[in-house]
Structure 1
């Protein structure tokens, strides 16, 4: 018996009454195959729409209003002008850039160094990787409170340890010259584990044949790092730089927990200035600050991502 599946291409009557063959084009087959993955994207797209796109568009609208929980008044660009006229905004902007550059730079250097060490032939290598990554899992607020106690003058563990070797430690968080740098170093301690994991993933994906070729040519470990590990880890470096810069430019929770922007305004960042406006009840003004911060982060990260992507080395 010949079934319909065995009968070959289907036919259908043409305008003259004769049956003509119809063929499935490659484009239609591709559309049917693509419909299934697109359907799987719908739940994630709905969540992204509700959680990110709608609040973002709403924030742009409320940045143009003076609003409370129950009403709003359209004021145009007044909120942006008032926010840009903040007397300590220049300090906050400078601190934000310094904080972002210092933290991202140290995370790149230390993350690479730790990754090279932890991909070598070490005993307890897995345990040491867990130890390095552990601070990433700890709450930022808990880290800030803990280090605030450790960095207290005279009674803090850090100053006591320095006193044992005859060094008089400064007032880390109450001195305007050391407050921001102290918080930045704590941020590096907490976040370097993630950078290390990213670098480890990049290093272990490099084929061993490259290192064997360097060894055959009589190259040293430094030459292997310089000519193999460093250039072929550029994708990992790009990821660490971008993620660290985004986190540094948006820095708030650790700074607020440890210094609250003080002493005075010496460790204020853009995010802490925005939060102070929220505390004072200027919701439209602070929303305009959030929009400006979003624009600044986008203006820095998008071109940087493009430039780093062009310089990546592919295997």
Structure 2
């Protein structure tokens, strides 16, 4: 009969630094945010006003389009990252020459500063002087105003986000694909399966944990995005690329700190309300390996 392991209180001391950091930089600011969202406050004074900040924030003229843009942006970016990341992950899991170099090139955009990427692509997407439209005109195609057209501005920023973030999705997919036992592929080859059968019957279902991770991370990142959109469009033209985070920042710029704090609480609730059910749904679909 095995002896029961006695819990040594000394081991819990190793958890104290991490617990203290988590408490100070996450739990405490979260609690304070909920409190200050119900106050009128400045750096030196505050006054409790209840839910008034929430009413003002939700009555913003651009709130409806901001919420819609936030969801659209999250769905588009996460969907494209999953599709492109999976295809690149399958390709880069093959035995190729210089595969390490190709993997590093795919991952390289993820290492760049988001602000720098936003500034660079704002220049590249300039309607008359940008290199993208110059390249299109070389082939006789008239390029659009990527960031000035209300119909495509949000999609243009989303594509830049996908370019920057697909490398992380690819690395996650590569890890998931490489962890699939080789015996499955060998058994399918014996049965006469080809590359499509391997992808459909082995790679796709058994890489579901990696896919779920990419979906959750990219979807939450899309809901919380701010810096790329603010760098490239500042929510314009008009309100066409406004998202919840940009509306929050505009309130902060105007000096309405309580309203902006209430907006942060609303964004927290929106992310939790959308991402948590998605997480539960995806976990039910996972294939046990």
Scaled to the shorter chain, the TM-score interval is over 0.9
1:309 equivalent to 2:286? Answer no
Deviation, 1:302, is 1.2
Aligned residues: 288
Other-structure match for 1:147: 121
Alignment of 1:42-61 (within 5 A): 42-61=16-35
Report which structure shows greater RCO (CA 8 Å, sep ≥6).
Answer: 2
Q: Secondary structure at the match of 1:155?
A: coil
Uncovered stretches (5+) of structure 1, i.e. residues with no partner: 1-24
Paired with 2:155 and 2:219, the residues of 1 have a C-alpha distance of 16
Paired with 2:187 and 2:117, the residues of 1 have a C-alpha distance of 45
Paired with 1:30 and 1:75, the residues of 2 have a C-alpha distance of 52
Other-structure match for 2:259: 285
Deviation, 1:246, is 0.7
Other-structure match for 2:130: 156
Choose 1 or 2 for highest CA Rg.
Answer: 1
Q: Secondary structure at the match of 2:7?
A: helix
1:69 equivalent to 2:43? Answer yes
Per-residue Cα deviation, 1:89-110 (whole angstroms, up to 9, x for no partner): 0000000000000000000000
Alignment of 1:117-156 (within 5 A): 117-156=91-130
Uncovered stretches (5+) of structure 2, i.e. residues with no partner: none
When the two chains are superposed, the root-mean-square deviation of aligned CA atoms in Å is 1.1
Paired with 1:274 and 1:121, the residues of 2 have a C-alpha distance of 48
Flag the 1:36–1:217 CA change in 2: closer, same or farther, 3 A.
farther
1:173 pairs, out of 147, 154, 172, with: 147
Other-structure match for 1:256: 230
Other-structure match for 1:81: 55
Q: Secondary structure at the match of 1:291?
A: helix
Q: TM-score w.r.t. structure 1 length? A: 0.90
Deviation, 1:154, is 1.9
Alignment of 1:8-47 (within 5 A): 26=3, 29-32=5-8, 35-47=9-21
